[in-house]
Amino acid sequence: MSKGKKKQNQNNKLRDPDHQLAEEQFLELNKEFYNEFLEDFYSMKVINLLSLITNTEKSISNLMENPIEIDKLKIEPQVENIKSVNLIRYAKAELAMSYFHCLETFIRLFVAHAKLSGCPWLELARLDLPKYKGELKKISNGEFNHFNSRASENETILYVFTGQKKPEGEITAEFIEGYKTWLSFAASQLLKTYDYNAFKHGLAISPTQNGFTIGRTDEEFKLEAHGEVIEHLTRMTSGDRVIWAKQTNFVEYDRKATFILFVEKLMTSILDVGRKSYLLKNEGIRVYKAHKFLPKDILETGKNQDIQVENFSRGLLYNK
């Protein structure tokens, strides 16, 4: 090997943070990861936000009566500075975005544990944006056979959520299909989340009321959608050019909250298995029957309309 290639190989190794990484420290890293992981984060957030929406005036009154003090910071809100309509809009927007945040945590946590590498915390760090997007595409298409070479896709999925590699006892093969359905649903949702990205990066979004009806009001069949929405500006193709449009995304907050609460339960299973596998703790694994409660069960509206509308876009006006 030439000196130039040797130097290049040496430089490549130095740029690789995994080069000569001591595995002896994995146990301590795992202890920190599992002991410090904030469980019930999303359920606490949902309860808090729903409380703001349903008990707005009481929440404002509580702020007035109990000033905020943290270390040297003291805030004494004035009643004229807190408007109930703004508090409700904040809570609804935050709840809608928490839905996507929860799904992203779920996917990242699953991928990190499906690698079976010995240190999920490191796997989370290795999952940079390009790799994460690649995982979303594969998982949304039902591809689960690429995570590791030690177990089949079904064994991997069952192990990550239950600690078992084979169906046994009350844990049947149906569990695997349920987990796959939830993972693929979460990944597909995250692939079409401009509103989530707009929120994360500080772009303007607006929670409000909107809707449309296609067809006469006296017609038996008509396409319509009305209700709570989050709106943002986006690009869209119109003919042979790209234009600006306002996209309206319908948000049913009760369903978003239900998704968050159940997905967090699935994350609890992953963490329980991780603690048992990497910390050798035998504190029990909370296993949930994902196949008995699928996304479609939450999405069913009970309305007599075969076509469900998630969003619609309207182009902005342009001069001729």
User: Where do the structural domains in the chain lie, given as residue ranges?
Assistant: 27-199+254-301
Name the residue among 181, 192, 189, 183 with its Cα closest to residue 267: 183
Q: Which two tokens stand for residue 201?
A: 């990066």
The reported pTM is: 0.81
| 192, 198 Cβ separation under 8 angstroms | no
Average pLDDT of every residue of the chain: 84
Q: What percent of the chain has pLDDT over 70?
A: 81
Better-predicted residue by pLDDT, 28 or 313: 28
b/e string for 194-213 if b means 16 or more Cβ within 10 A? bbbebbeeeeebebeebeee
Average pLDDT over residues 260-280: 96
Band of the pLDDT at 93, cuts 50, 70, 90? confident
Q: Within the chain, how many helices (H) and strands (E) appear?
A: 12, 6
Say which residues have a Cβ less than 8 Å from residue 184's Cβ, sequence separation at least 6.
139, 140, 141, 142
Say which residues have a Cβ less than 8 Å from residue 239's Cβ, sequence separation at least 6.
none
For the cut 90, the answer to whether the pLDDT of residue 152 exceeds it is yes
The full DSSP string for 177-203 is HHHHHHHHHHHHHHTT-HHHHHHHTT-
- In terms of DSSP bridges, do strands 206-214 and 68-70 run parallel, antiparallel, or are they unpaired? unpaired
Residue 308 is classified by DSSP as: P
Query: Which of 88-102, 108-122, 157-171, 300-314 is predicted least confidently?
Result: 300-314
Round to whole Å and give the CA distance between 60 and 67.
Answer: 11
**Predicted pLDDT of residue 160:** 98
Name the residue among 50, 41, 1 with its Cα closest to residue 254: 50
For the cut 50, the answer to whether the pLDDT of residue 3 exceeds it is yes
Q: What angle do CA 196, 202, 207 make, to 5 degrees?
A: 60
Residue 211 is classified by DSSP as: E
Band of the pLDDT at 59, cuts 50, 70, 90? confident
Amino acid letter at 261?
L
* Highest mean pLDDT, choosing among 31-45, 71-85, 87-101, 196-210: 31-45
